[in-house]
Structure 1
Amino acid sequence: MPHCIVEYATPLQNQIDISSLIESLFEGMVDTGLFDRATIKVRAIASDHFMTGSDKQLYMHTTVKLLPGRSPQQKEMLGARLLERKTQALAGTAMLSVEVVDLSEAYFK
């Protein structure tokens, strides 16, 4: 745990190295000191079909799913770190967002 899921518009594959971004996000999560490296899971899912307003702007949304227990400040710091790394990689070419959420007690492994 945690799960970091990156959803992005498929055309972004032609603009950035998705594998390098995944590695950067992974290291960003390690650097927070909130997680043991061995428990972090980061994956990317491309979206071939999407709508974003009237101009079909490219996007990248990241959801981080955590077991409950982190403070709001820790979640804010994590989200800001990941957004910063995405901003560096994408340099204004897409709409970017990060959401940090607690899993419910109904999570099973």
Structure 2
Amino acid sequence: MPHLIVEYSANLDGRADIAGLCDRLLATVLASGLFEVGAVRVRALRADHYAIADRLPENAFVDLNFRIGKGRTIEECRQVGEAIFRTAQDVLESLFASPHFALSLEIREIDSDLSWKRNAIHQRLRGR
């Protein structure tokens, strides 16, 4: 953990740099200093089917879901959340020029008793 999932409406293809957004979000999460490099993942999932608000075809969204393990203070969570949201706003700023775009972020703590992991990346990165 952490995993940052970028869910976005398919009508953003060609209008938003989703790969660039993922790169910038990864840099932002790492810059927080709160997470081990080998644990961080950022991925984007395109929603091909959706219905937004008044169903105008130009309505679009990006929803950020940040799943993290327990162990950080609420203030640390807020700081990293604000940094992530700021980065997303910066990358997607042009979409706010129309009244048809929504951006959201939620941070969720994962219960370690209900989470299983096996990560060979840690061993490689910790050996540096």
State TM-score, norm by structure 1.
Answer: 0.93
| Distance apart, 1:55 and its partner CA | 3.8
**Are positions 1:61 and 2:63 aligned together?**
yes
Separation in structure 2 between the aligned mates of residue 26 and residue 54 of structure 1, nearest angstrom: 33
Separation in structure 2 between the aligned mates of residue 21 and residue 13 of structure 1, nearest angstrom: 13
Corresponding residue for 1:101? 108
Q: How does 1:84-95 map to 2 (within 5 A)?
A: 84-91=86-93, 92=96, 94-95=101-102
Structure 1: runs of 5 or more not aligned: none
> Where in structure 1 do 4 or more consecutive aligned residues deviate above 4 Å?
none
Give the number of aligned pairs: 109
**Are positions 1:39 and 2:46 aligned together?**
no
Separation in structure 2 between the aligned mates of residue 108 and residue 36 of structure 1, nearest angstrom: 17
* Worse overlay, 86-95 or 4-13: 86-95
**Superposition CA RMSD, Å:** 1.2
Greater per-residue helix proportion: 2
Structure 2: runs of 5 or more not aligned: 118-128
Separation in structure 1 between the aligned mates of residue 105 and residue 53 of structure 2, nearest angstrom: 19
Separation in structure 2 between the aligned mates of residue 82 and residue 97 of structure 1, nearest angstrom: 11
Separation in structure 2 between the aligned mates of residue 36 and residue 106 of structure 1, nearest angstrom: 20
**Are positions 1:20 and 2:28 aligned together?**
no
- Asked which structure has the greater CA Rg, the reply is 2
